[in-house]
A and B are shown apart, each in its own frame.
Chain A
Amino acid sequence: MKVLVAVKRVIDYNVKVRVKPDNTGVDLANVKMAMNPFCEIAVEEAVRLKEKGVASEIVVVSIGPKACQEQIRTALALGADRGIHIETDEEVQSLEAAKLLKSVVEKEEPKLVILGKQSIDSDNNQTGQMLAALTGMGQGTFASEVVVEGEKVNVTREVDGGLMTVALNLPAVVTTDLRLNEPRYASLPNIMKAKKKQLDSMTPADLGVELAPRLSTLKVEAPASRQAGVKVADVAELVDKLKNEAKVI
């Protein structure tokens, strides 16, 4: 079966995020960018499905500026077969991303679509669910285990308080949580091979989707920084302060 994986280019998770002095956004100039960590887990899961003989082809798709092709090439080096780049320099919000992915799904007809549960920049946690709703598919969100059995996929989900397993009809959408797997590193020969793999580029207009953002960001600020408080001499003083000064116990 064919598996479609969506990946997003975001700020590298090791980079310290700095808000621009004019409060228009986060400073991304000359900042190291990388594949969103949850998307790496999505790619890894698809590759493991292929290694098990469940997946026959892995198509990786990314939306964004030309530079996104770096992340597509990374996914190809990790084991994806073919790439699709939807090129735009505009801001793409979750609903629009879902609409773009929907048109890719209609063309490619994958049995399974795997996405990260959220990107570490906008932290929305929306695109997978929106795509599932728009395409009339079931969804296994926050997955910690994915087992394909015939025309069904069993997805174990990380929910508040524990785990929950659902059975979904295929085709279905899965979004990844941290414990699903530990992504591998790409080997040098595979990085070289990835350069020769097919990568098709298209625009939102080619897919018949008009980008029309519904949300506007008025300002972005640094969080209120905490001031260091006081040092207490012993446990008795600590408990006294918590009870009588902070009044939290």
Chain B
Amino acid sequence: MSILVIAEHDNSELKQATLNVVAAAKAIGGDIDVLVAGENCGAVGEAAAKAEGVNKVLVADNAVYGHFLGENLGELVAEVGKSYSHILAAAGTVGKDFMPRVAALLDVAQVSDIMRVESEDTFVRPIYAGNAIATVKSTDSIKVITVRPTAFDPVAGEGGSAAVEQLDVVKDAGLSAFVNEELAKSDRPDLGSAGIVVSGGRGMQNGDNFKMLEQVADLLGAAVGASRAAVDAGFVPNDMQVGQTGKIVAPQLYIAVGISGAIQHLAGMSDSKVIVAINKDEEAPIFQVADYGLVADLFEAVPQLEEELKKVL
């Protein structure tokens, strides 16, 4: 078996999600090659070559891949990937965009968002927003798979010494063009891939109070999220929403502050490894899923938490 992993990156840095996907590839077994497609992305290729368990790195460096347009990446990956048994990418917004195109061009099905590998052709994935877990077997000769990064522990990013090969394959579908992007200017990690998430709910009372959570998040290197109730109340923008209708997160640590724990919120975070709930209502459903519950007024507990964390971190 031979597995092609498509690297996730921003043309300068390899994203950690790639290391999680390589871990999923290792669980399948076989030679693992990594494809880095981008523009002026040589440094990313060098970084991918150091990842544990990587056999070879292929670098397709061309302006047509600079903004990761799905039409161009789809053609490239279908072309390069057709000689592999498995093609894997992280289930982020880039992978979700181009991978189904790859599958369609190869006339195979795609298995989306896998959280476990059972065997080379059988995978476990969430359906119904995680309210059910399906075990799915693929009969296609090439398996096109997106991987939920948080479900796999990353391989080491250092120590490997894979060969790096330049690919001279330029696929410009001529269907789309990049116009512009507005990326949130935040030094905090992305909500979907953060190792720690601190979220606030309706109990925060207003948007200004989220600053308290941001201070705690910055101590922990965490992302800040919110419940739908907090978004609907206008405290914070919708891209912070964790839940069935927002982002699905599964960090190592999830701290829910002033969140009651509606089913639609639990669907977005209950795969977190450790859940902490801080709420003054001891009957709040969030306590039924929390590993550590603190019944307290958040306006007292959160500043205390910040002080205590400063002592130990």
Contact B127 A220, beta carbon cutoff 8 Å? yes
Known A134-B104, A214-B108, A226-B275; judge A166-B238 contact (CB<8 A).
no
Contact B101 A219, beta carbon cutoff 8 Å? no
Interface residues of B in 155-194 (CB under 8 A from A): 173-184, 190, 192-193
In the complex, whether B274 has a CB less than 8 A from a CB of chain A is yes
Contact B196 A161, beta carbon cutoff 8 Å? no
In the complex, whether A248 has a CB less than 8 A from a CB of chain B is yes
Contact B290 A228, beta carbon cutoff 8 Å? yes
Distance in angstroms between the alpha carbons of A121 and B92 in the assembled complex: 19
Contact B103 A124, beta carbon cutoff 8 Å? no
In the complex, whether B131 has a CB less than 8 A from a CB of chain A is yes
> Which residues on A sit within 8 Å (CB–CB) of B127?
26, 121-123, 220
> Which residues on B sit within 8 Å (CB–CB) of A142?
93, 96-97
Contact B273 A215, beta carbon cutoff 8 Å? no
> Which residues on B sit within 8 Å (CB–CB) of A223?
126, 130-133, 270-271
Contact A129 B292, beta carbon cutoff 8 Å? no
> Which residues on B sit within 8 Å (CB–CB) of A164?
67, 178, 180-182
> Which residues on A sit within 8 Å (CB–CB) of B312?
239, 243, 249
Interface residues of A in 75-119 (CB under 8 A from B): 93-95, 98
Known A17-B132, A141-B96, A228-B288; judge A129-B101 contact (CB<8 A).
yes
From B178, which residue of chain A is reached at the shortest CB distance?
Answer: A166
From B306, which residue of chain A is reached at the shortest CB distance?
Answer: A235
Tell me whether chain A's interface is mostly helix, strand or loop, or mixed: mixed
In the complex, whether B287 has a CB less than 8 A from a CB of chain A is yes
Contact A248 B196, beta carbon cutoff 8 Å? yes
Contact A239 B309, beta carbon cutoff 8 Å? yes
In the complex, whether A229 has a CB less than 8 A from a CB of chain B is yes
> Which residues on A sit within 8 Å (CB–CB) of B134?
217, 219-220
Distance in angstroms between the alpha carbons of A138 and B270 in the assembled complex: 36
In the complex, whether B83 has a CB less than 8 A from a CB of chain A is no
In the complex, whether A202 has a CB less than 8 A from a CB of chain B is no
- Total A-B residue contacts, Cβ distance less than 8 Å: 250
Known A215-B109, A226-B289, A239-B308; judge A160-B178 contact (CB<8 A).
no
In the complex, whether A1 has a CB less than 8 A from a CB of chain B is no
Contact A168 B180, beta carbon cutoff 8 Å? no
Q: Chain A, 60-88, contact with B by CB distance < 8 Å: what is the 0/1 string?
A: 00000000000000000000000000000
B237 to chain A, nearest CB (A): 9
Contact B293 A230, beta carbon cutoff 8 Å? yes
Known A123-B128, A125-B100; judge A215-B138 contact (CB<8 A).
yes
Q: Chain A, 122-154, contact with B by CB distance < 8 Å: what is the 0/1 string?
A: 111111111111101111011000000000001
In the complex, whether B63 has a CB less than 8 A from a CB of chain A is no
Distance in angstroms between the alpha carbons of A215 and B291 in the assembled complex: 36
Contact A133 B270, beta carbon cutoff 8 Å? no
In the complex, whether B70 has a CB less than 8 A from a CB of chain A is yes
In the complex, whether B1 has a CB less than 8 A from a CB of chain A is no
From B107, which residue of chain A is reached at the shortest CB distance?
Answer: A95
In the complex, whether A192 has a CB less than 8 A from a CB of chain B is no
Contact-residue bracket for chain B? 35 or more
Interface residues of B in 293-313 (CB under 8 A from A): 293-296, 301, 304-305, 308-309, 311-313
> Which residues on A sit within 8 Å (CB–CB) of B263?
16
Distance in angstroms between the alpha carbons of A154 and B177 in the assembled complex: 9
From A166, which residue of chain B is reached at the shortest CB distance?
Answer: B176
Tell me whether chain B's interface is mostly helix, strand or loop, or mixed: mixed
Distance in angstroms between the alpha carbons of A141 and B190 in the assembled complex: 19
In the complex, whether B33 has a CB less than 8 A from a CB of chain A is no
Contact-residue bracket for chain A? 35 or more
Contact B93 A160, beta carbon cutoff 8 Å? yes
Contact A124 B110, beta carbon cutoff 8 Å? yes
In the complex, whether B19 has a CB less than 8 A from a CB of chain A is no
Contact B135 A11, beta carbon cutoff 8 Å? no
> Which residues on B sit within 8 Å (CB–CB) of A246?
253, 274, 291-292
Distance in angstroms between the alpha carbons of A231 and B108 in the assembled complex: 49
Distance in angstroms between the alpha carbons of A95 and B102 in the assembled complex: 11
Distance in angstroms between the alpha carbons of A164 and B291 in the assembled complex: 38
Known A223-B126, A226-B270, A238-B294; judge A95-B137 contact (CB<8 A).
no
Contact B274 A165, beta carbon cutoff 8 Å? no
From B313, which residue of chain A is reached at the shortest CB distance?
Answer: A249
> Which residues on B sit within 8 Å (CB–CB) of A94?
100, 109-110
In the complex, whether A29 has a CB less than 8 A from a CB of chain B is no
Q: Chain A, 154-174, contact with B by CB distance < 8 Å: what is the 0/1 string?
A: 100111111111111100100
From A139, which residue of chain B is reached at the shortest CB distance?
Answer: B70
12 A-B interface contacts by CB (under 8 A): A95-B108, A95-B110, A120-B244, A129-B100, A133-B105, A142-B93, A166-B178, A214-B138, A221-B135, A229-B292, A231-B292, A238-B305
Q: A98-B104, A123-B129, A242-B253 are in contact. List 18 more A-B contacts (CB 8 A).
A: A16-B131, A120-B128, A129-B97, A131-B104, A133-B102, A142-B96, A159-B181, A161-B184, A162-B181, A162-B239, A163-B181, A163-B183, A165-B180, A166-B178, A231-B282, A249-B220, A249-B253, A249-B309
**Closest 9 pairs (CB-CB, A-B):** A138-B175, A129-B100, A229-B291, A162-B183, A214-B109, A133-B104, A130-B104, A17-B131, A133-B101
